[in-house]
């Protein structure tokens, strides 16, 4: 699929970088002229994906988080967030609402939130090799 503009970022899995990633994607998405609701949904989905990397992918150490955004020709924001962490041994179980490996302070709703706020959502993972979250959000063109 053709794309018009893109950006890539790589940053360590520090909790302070969750807000950075969310803001960077929102600023990049602004060129599509999204509504405040669309922008809020995008920010929330990115926040959930990056937080998953920080909490689950690298539980004992810092690691790299890679983020890529593209503007596709059909006014769609394409986002990939990838880590090279521990991976997810049972992806079907991990996608169930309320399932978490992050302890009692985690809701287990991250994948559910991402999927509900984006037009398309896909997650792939290999234990010991990492996880990739691919999300797209079609932005309504205003008249």
Active site residue 5: no
Please list the alpha-helical segments (H only) found in the chain. 16-29, 36-52, 91-94, 110-117
Which token pair is 43? 């920010």
Residues near 124 by Cβ (< 8 Å), separated by ≥ 6? 91, 131, 132, 134
Active site residue 52: yes
CA distance 111 to 97: 8
From the list 17, 18, 43, 52, the catalytic residue is: 52
In angstroms, the Cα distances linking 34 to 30, 77, 142 are 6, 10, 9
Active site residue 142: no
From the list 48, 70, 82, 136, the catalytic residue is: 48
From the list 68, 75, 106, 115, the catalytic residue is: 106
Catalytic residues: 48, 52, 106
């Amino acid at each position: 699929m053709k794309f018009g503009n893109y950006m890539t970022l790589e940053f360590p899995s520090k909790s302070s970088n969750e807000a950075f990633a969310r803001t960077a994607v929102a600023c990049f998405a602004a060129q599509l002229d999204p509504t405040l609701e669309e922008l809020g949904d995008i920010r929330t989905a990115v926040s959930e994906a990056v937080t998953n990397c920080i909490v689950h992918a690298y539980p004992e150490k810092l690691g790299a988080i890679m983020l890529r955004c593209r503007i596709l020709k059909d006014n769609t924001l394409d986002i990939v967030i990838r880590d090279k962490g521990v991976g997810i041994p049972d992806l079907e179980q991990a996608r169930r609402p309320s399932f978490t490996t992050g302890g009692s302070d985690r809701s287990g709703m991250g994948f559910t939130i991402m999927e509900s706020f984006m037009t398309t959502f896909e997650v792939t993972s290999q234990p010991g090799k990492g996880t990739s979250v691919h999300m797209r959000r079609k932005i309504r063109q205003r008249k």
